[in-house]
Amino acid sequence: MELWVILTDIVILLSASLVVGAFFSRLGQSPIVGYLFAGMVLGGPGSIRLVSSQHAIEAISELGVALLLFSLGLEFSITRLRRLGMVPLLGGAAQVILTMLAGLGCALACGLELRQGIAFGAMVALSSTAVVLRILLERGEIDMPHGRNCLGVLLTQDMAIVPLALLMTILGGEGGPQEILLHVGELLLFAGALIAGLYILTRVAVLALGTLSLSRNRELTIIFAIVAGLGAALASHSAGISPALGAFVAGMMLGSSSFATQIRADISPLQVVLLTLFFGAAGMVADPVWIYNNYLMVLSVTLGIVLLKLVVTAGVFLLLGQSIRISSATGISLAQIGEFAFVLGSVGRASGVVDAELYALIVSVAIFSFFLTAFFVPIAPYFGDRVARFFSLDTPFKEDTLLSEEQRAEIAIIGFGPAALRLVNPLIDTDRKVVVIDLNSEGLRRASQLGFHGEIGDAQQFEVLEHAKVHSCKIVVITVPHQRTALQILENVRRVAPQARILVRSRYELHSTDFVDAGAHAVCGDEHEVGEKMALQLLSWLKPQEDSVSPPVGTTL
């Protein structure tokens, strides 16, 4: 009976999150704000108490955090870090450390003990990757100077989740310095054994999957992704380490494999559901009555954190040699508490270093800071201009100071069978950058031999197209023979890369109109090409006998 009560509460919470999240999305806010509000109203203290299974939902939603860190590990790439340059990464590391120290100082001044102060500093040091990057991408500002700074800082913060979560676990340990050092040693020993074990298991699994064609065994990557992510979380929990850390390590081990793109896309739906439950459960911690009774404190802390992070972030980039304009724009874009603060808070609550009142304050402040971020990020360039003018540095905000863009593909080829092999002949040994997307590992192996970058993935999923940077391609070629699949891919490409010219293969002539109506710029029909080649061969046979040479039996045209 209890199972059905929990299931009822989950359905109610997800339904409310859908409605409230959509409402806030229409207002230009992050849906996360809606999920938090839905949880705040439906369950927990001061709510209407329509949802009573708060602790059960919170336990289930922890799996969402594990999958989130697993996805983050899949994104981890040394090459990606190098392309950003050292300034954004150094700025990110300095921002985390200095904000933590400043937060610690403020917490101690307000009467918190040392361990709680360190935990408070760690939670407020993080900004919102989901909210900031979403707005920057929508506005096309990710490659502006402040956008690249934000990307570097957020990526650094995301990587800092792992040591910060470990710090939360260590802070929860009891005893003196010797006991804490012993606990740290045990954790590092377990972590080393876990990393070694995960490395061996993931290498074996990748080799096993590499022998299969994923177009015929799609369910295997889904099962493998779930087993890898949640299995690593389970192993980490059994070793006394945060489950999220184990999931991150497993994702990082798989991040360099050719299956990373498809794995990320396969776990995305389950991750979204579990994370929605996580934010809903986090919202249940915030008490509307408590916020109302302590609104002055919530507002004061929110404004204090915004100003603190603005000054610290801008100051860091000023010291790194960037202009006051770019530094100020970066600072105001990152002046909020991020969603990973809830992850650290949940780890801190489990270890006993974060109490319910501090966690409720962090959740409440995060909700208000998310609201402000929706207004701060769009005005960041103008804010930088105003600050520069205030200090009599009135050169306008220019985009010609952009850092060099990442090397992205100009041409995307979806499906790499025999037709694609002939198609790419003019591109071999040229400077054209080509990305190939296919579910067949053998096809990608051939593409790699020809010097093209390959991504294993199903192009019917937006996550695969986005990760392959199809949105920056000038030309997209779809060679998939199945009509419905090719049509779905075409529709997705039109949404992801509306500026790209699209060439589609049509196996049958009667489907050509469908592709044109869906937005293809050119369609090549198999039947048309076959007819032309057969006509040429027939004409060659009809020539006078002395001019005709019979081809050998079995000639392929």
User: 368 and 228 share a domain?
Assistant: yes
Same domain for 102 and 42: yes
Position 100 in a domain:
yes
Quick one: pLDDT band at residue 403, thresholds 50, 70, 90?
very low
Q: Are residues 436 and 375 in the same domain?
A: no
Lowest mean pLDDT among 221-235, 293-307, 331-345: 221-235
The three-state DSSP-derived secondary structure of 221-280 is: HHHHHHHHHHHHHHHHHHCCCCHHHHHHHHHHHHCCCCCHHHHHHHHHHHHHHHHHHHHH
Does any domain span residue 405? Answer: no
The pLDDT, as a whole number, for residue 549 is: 55
Q: Same domain, yes or no, for 277 and 238?
A: yes
Asked whether residue 406 is domain-assigned, the answer is no
Given a cut of 50, whether residue 398 has pLDDT beyond it is: no
Average pLDDT value for residue range 35-58: 81
Binned at pLDDT 50, 70 and 90, residue 173 comes out as low
388 to each of 119, 150, 379, how far by Cα in Å?
35, 19, 14
Q: What is the mean pLDDT of residues 340-369?
A: 84
Mean pLDDT of all residues belonging to the chain:
79
Question: In this structure, is residue 20 part of a structural domain?
Answer: yes
Say how many domains are in the chain.
2
Same domain, 241 and 120: yes
Asked whether the beta carbons of 496 and 465 are under 8 A apart, the reply is: yes
Indicate the residue among 355, 390, 425 that finishes a domain.
390
Question: Which residues share a beta bridge with 438?
Answer: 456
Instruction: Give domain status of residue 401, yes or no.
Output: no
Q: How far apart are CA 146 and CA 152, in angstroms?
A: 10
Q: Residue 369 belongs to what domain range?
A: 2-390
Model confidence at 312, pLDDT cuts 50, 70, 90, reads very high
Query: Do both 362 and 462 map to the same domain?
Result: no
**398 within domain boundaries:** no
Same domain, 339 and 193: yes
CATH number of the domain that 192 lies in? 1.20.1530.20
CB 478 within 8 A of CB 493: yes
Residues counted in the chain: 557
| Max Cα distance, the chain (Å) | 104
Same domain as 255, residue 112: yes
Q: Is the pLDDT confidence value at 533 over 80?
A: no
Please report, rounded to a whole number, the percentage of residues in the chain having pLDDT higher than 70.
Answer: 84
| 54 in a structural domain | yes
Q: Is residue 400 part of a domain?
A: no
Q: Are 148 and 139 in contact (CB under 8 A)?
A: no
Distance CA 168, CA 163 (A): 9
Do 213 and 174 share a domain, yes or no?
yes
CATH of the domain at 419: 3.40.50.720
- Give yes or no: residues 329 and 445 share one domain: no
Q: Are residues 238 and 371 in the same domain?
A: yes
pLDDT tens for each residue of 6-44: 888 889 999 999 999 889 888 877 788 888 888 888 887
Mean pLDDT on 341-359: 83
| pLDDT (mean) for 242-269 | 75
The amino acid present at 480, given as its one-letter code, is: V
* Domain end point (choices 359, 390, 421): 390
pLDDT of residue 279: 79
Quote the pLDDT of residue 112.
Answer: 87
The sign of the dihedral angle between the CA atoms of 423, 428, 430, 434 is positive
Taking the C-alpha atoms of residue 369 and residue 412, their distance in angstroms, rounded to an integer, is 39
The 10s digit of each residue's pLDDT in 143-172 is 678 887 887 788 778 778 778 877 887 777
Query: Given its phi and psi angles, is residue 458 left (phi above 0), alpha (psi -120 to 50 degrees) or beta?
Result: beta
pLDDT score of 242: 66
In terms of domains, do 230 and 84 share one? yes
Range 324-352 average pLDDT: 86
Last residue of one domain, picked from the residues 390, 421, 452 = 390
